[in-house]
Amino acid sequence: MIIKNNFINKPGMNLIKIFLVLFITLIGAQAVAQTITLKSPDNSIVVTVNNEEKLSYSVTFQDRSIVNKSQMGFEFKEEPAMTGNLAILDQSLKNFSEKWIPVVKSKHAEILNNYNELLLSLREKSGPMRQLGLEIRAYNDGVAFRYKLFRAARAGDRQITKELTTFNIPGDPKAWIVDYKGYSSSNEAEFFEHPLSYLTEKSIAGMPMLMEYGNNCWVAITEAKIDNYAAFYIGTNGFTNQLTTKLVPVPGEPENGVKVRFSDEVYTPWRVLMIGETPGTLIESEIIQNLNDPCAIKDPSWIKPGLSAWDHWWSGEVKMEMPVIKQYIDLASEMGWPYMLVDWQWYGKFNAPEADLTKWAPQIDMPEIISYARSKNVKIILWLYSSDVNRNSAYKTAFPLYEKWGIAGIKIDFMDRDDQWMVNWYHDIIKCAAENHLMVDFHGAYKPDGIIRTWPNMITREGVMGNEYYKFSDKMSPEHNVKLAFTRMLAGQMDYTPGAFLNVTKEQYKNQTPAVVWNTRVAELSKFVIYESPLTVVCDHPDNILNQPGADFLKIVPTTWDDIKFIGGYPGDYIAIAKRSGDKWFLGVMNNSVGKNVELSLSFLPSGTYEAETWSDTKNSDKEPKELKKTIQVLKSGTMKITMAKNGGFVAVIKRK
C-alpha cells in the first residue's frame, strides 16, 4: 500500500492523521483474505484454503465434507520446514473454459476443459523469507492443486525430504486399495476392498485410490502431470484416515531421505481428487488430461492408434524366428490390424552390456521383416529393454535408425520405478521418440498422468496386472478384471493385452503354456470396449484367434472413441460401458464370478429405432466358456436385458436402423 504524506501542518491534526493512516494500513493488510474459497463452475464443489498459523485446505461436495482441514507444505534437507507463517503477496481468481481436440481420442472426440482457478503467491513473514506458489482448480468433476517452489538464496540444489500434503478423510469410507509394499514397483497388483482405516504408516498404497463415501458420493485420489518430480504413494501419519503423501526417494536415499532435488523453479505434480455422484462420473472424466499442457508435437498426424498382433512367450513357446514373426504379421493382416509387435530377443541378448539395439539377431532379417509387413499393410513395433535403451545413450542412435527402417513404435520394458530420475527419463525418451516419429508403449511402468495430451506418441502403457499374469499367477479373477475399470483405468491408458481365446472354467484353470484364462470368450471381447488403450496389443497365438468365435468382433472394434457413457456396475460386481465411434455405439459388459441378469439403460441413444449386433454368453458358457451366441436385435431407446454367465460378459454394436 502506498500512502502519500499530505498532512496539514497542525500538531493535533497530525496525531489524528497518523492514527488514521496506521488504522487504514492495518485494514489494508487484512484485505488479502486468510481464508479463501473456490467453487466449481456448477458450485457443487468448494475448496477452502486457510492461511493461518499453518497452511491448509479442505473440500466439500454438495455441502458434504470430502476432505477435512488438511496440512500443506514441505520439509527440506538443511532448511527449516515450510508449513506456515506465510503472508499472501497476491491472489487471483479466474474462470477458464475451452474445448480442445485430442490427437488420440481415448474417450472423447472433443474435450471440455472448464474450471475456476485460484492462484496464490505466498512468502514467509520471517526467517528465510522463502516464496511459495499455490495453484488450485475446481472442476465440476474434481479438484486439483499443485505447488510452485523457487530457487534458494545460494546457487545450488534445494532438496525436498518430505511433502507434507495430507488428505484428512472424514469417517471411514470403503476404499479399493493396492499396496505395493515398496517404492520399486511395476504397479502390477490387485486392488482390494477395505475400510480406509486399513491403511497404516507403513502402507505404500498406489493410485488411483477409489473411495465410496455412501449416499451418492465417490472420490478417487491420484496425480497428474508428473515432471521433474517424484511420484507419490499413500500412507497415514498414525491418525485415522489422515492420508499422507509418500514421495518416492531418489535412488540410493533411505525412505526418510531426499525425494526431489531442484536448482530452478519447480512445479509439483497436480494432486487430484476426482469427485462424482457415481463411479461413472470418474470413469468418464477428462480431468487428468485437462491438467496437462496442449500437444507439443507440431504435426502429430503420423500417430495412428490401432490393434497389434504380438509374438509373445505368453501365447506359447514362441521362438524368435522368421516363420514365427511372419505368422503373426499374417494374423495382423488377416484381422485388419495395423501393427505387429516383435518382442524380446530380436536383437539377441538383452539387459547386457553387449546388447546392441541397432543390430538384429543372426537368425532373423529385420529388413525382410519390415518389407514383408509392408506388403501386408502392417507396420512393426519393436520391444526394448530399458537398461539397453539407456546404456551409453543408445536410444539417441537407435531411434533415428528405427525411423529410417520404417518402424512405427517401440515398447520399452522393466523400468519398475517412478522416482524423480526415472520420471525425467520417461520425458527424455518420449521426446526423442517423437522427434523420430515413434509411438511409445511403456511396460514395467508407473501409472499414467495425462501426458498423452502433450505427447500423444506416448500412446499407452502397462502399469496394470494384466493378462500375462494368467500364465504364472493365481491372482487373476473376474472380480479383479471388473475392478480395474473403476480403479487403475481412472488414471488413463492401460496396456492390459486382452485377447486370450483359450477360455476355461475356474476348475480347469492352471498356470501353463500355452496360457489359459478363466473367463468366457465374450468376457474377453468386452475388455476391448471397456479397457482404455489406443494401442491395443492382442496377446494370443494366431491359431487360437483366426476363424474362432468372436474373432469377427476383433476385426471391427476400434481403439479410440468419440464418446463414452457409464451404463452401470459396481467395483468387483460388473461393469457396463458404452462407447461411440462415428455413428456406432459399442457396448461392453463384464461380469464377476456370479452369473446374473442385468437390465441396461439405453438412455445414451437418441430416440429412434436401432439394430444391435450382439455377442453373448450361452446357457452352456458356465461349463464351456468358449461358447458364444451371436444375434441381431431391433432396439428402441429404453432398456436392454442381458444374461451373463459366471465369469462372463456381453458385447454389442448398435447403429441406427
Q: Which of 124-138, 314-328, 372-386, 582-596 has the lowest mean pLDDT?
A: 314-328
Q: Please report the pLDDT score of residue 623 as a whole number.
A: 97
| Residue that is written with C-alpha cell 529410417 in the block | 404
> Could you tell me what percent of the chain has a pLDDT over 90?
91
Residue range 20-37, pLDDT digits in tens: 332 323 333 334 568 999
Q: Please report the pLDDT score of residue 149 as a whole number.
A: 98
Q: Please report the pLDDT score of residue 20 as a whole number.
A: 33
pLDDT of 15 higher than 50: no
Q: Kindly state whether residues 282 and 427 are assigned to the same domain.
A: no
Q: Helices 395-405 and 420-435 meet at what angle, rounded to 10?
A: 30
Residue after which a domain boundary falls, among 259, 290, 321: 290
Contacts of 131 (CB under 8 A, 6+ apart): 89, 121, 122, 123, 124, 150
Q: Please report the pLDDT score of residue 19 as a whole number.
A: 35
Q: Kindly state whether residues 101 and 216 are assigned to the same domain.
A: yes
Q: Kindly state whether residues 510 and 626 are assigned to the same domain.
A: yes
Q: Please report the pLDDT score of residue 312 as a whole number.
A: 85
Alpha carbon of residue 44 to chain centroid = 25
Residue range 580-626, pLDDT digits in tens: 999 999 999 999 999 999 999 999 999 999 999 999 999 999 999 99
Q: Please report the pLDDT score of residue 28 as a whole number.
A: 32
C-alpha cell at 282: 470418474
Residue after which a domain boundary falls, among 290, 318, 334: 290
Alpha carbon of residue 546 to chain centroid = 32
Q: Kindly state whether residues 86 and 198 are assigned to the same domain.
A: yes
| Domain harbouring 471, CATH code | 3.20.20.70
pLDDT of 656 higher than 90: yes
In this prediction, residues 233-258 reach a mean pLDDT of 94
Q: Kindly state whether residues 276 and 131 are assigned to the same domain.
A: yes
In this prediction, residues 570-579 reach a mean pLDDT of 98
pLDDT of 240 higher than 80: no
Residue after which a domain boundary falls, among 463, 483, 502: 463
Number of domains in the chain: 4
Q: Kindly state whether residues 346 and 235 are assigned to the same domain.
A: no
Q: Kindly state whether residues 523 and 615 are assigned to the same domain.
A: yes
Residue range 427-442, pLDDT digits in tens: 999 999 999 999 999 9
Q: Please report the pLDDT score of residue 33 as a whole number.
A: 60
Q: What is the mean pLDDT of the chain?
A: 94
Q: Kindly state whether residues 285 and 422 are assigned to the same domain.
A: no
pTM attached to this predicted model: 0.94
Q: Please report the pLDDT score of residue 577 as a whole number.
A: 98
Q: Which of 58-62, 241-245, 297-301, 552-556 has the lowest mean pLDDT?
A: 241-245
**Strand ranges of the sheet holding 232-236, from the earlier edge strand across to the other edge:** 35-39, 45-51, 55-61, 64-71, 166-168, 242-247, 232-236
- Neighbouring CB atoms inside 10 A of 153's CB total 8
Distance separating alpha carbons of residues 556 and 297, to the nearest angstrom: 29
Nearest one of 323, 407, 411, 338 to 371, comparing CA atoms: 407
Q: Kindly state whether residues 13 and 146 are assigned to the same domain.
A: no
Q: Please report the pLDDT score of residue 16 as a whole number.
A: 37
Q: Kindly state whether residues 149 and 178 are assigned to the same domain.
A: yes
| Domain harbouring 66, CATH code | 2.70.98.10
DSSP labels for 444-512?
Answer: S-PPP-STTTT-TTEEEE--S--TTHHHH-S---HHHHHHHHHTGGGGS----------B--TTT--S-
Q: Kindly state whether residues 394 and 500 are assigned to the same domain.
A: no
Q: Kindly state whether residues 215 and 253 are assigned to the same domain.
A: yes
pLDDT of 125 higher than 80: yes
Residue 516's SS3 state is coil
Residue range 282-310, pLDDT digits in tens: 999 999 999 999 999 999 999 999 999 99
| Cross-strand bridge partners of residue 133 | 121, 148
Range of the domain at 92: 35-290
Give how far Cα 271 sits from Cα of 142, 181, 230, 416, 645, Å.
11, 22, 12, 22, 40
Name the pairing type of β-strands 192-195 and 174-177: antiparallel
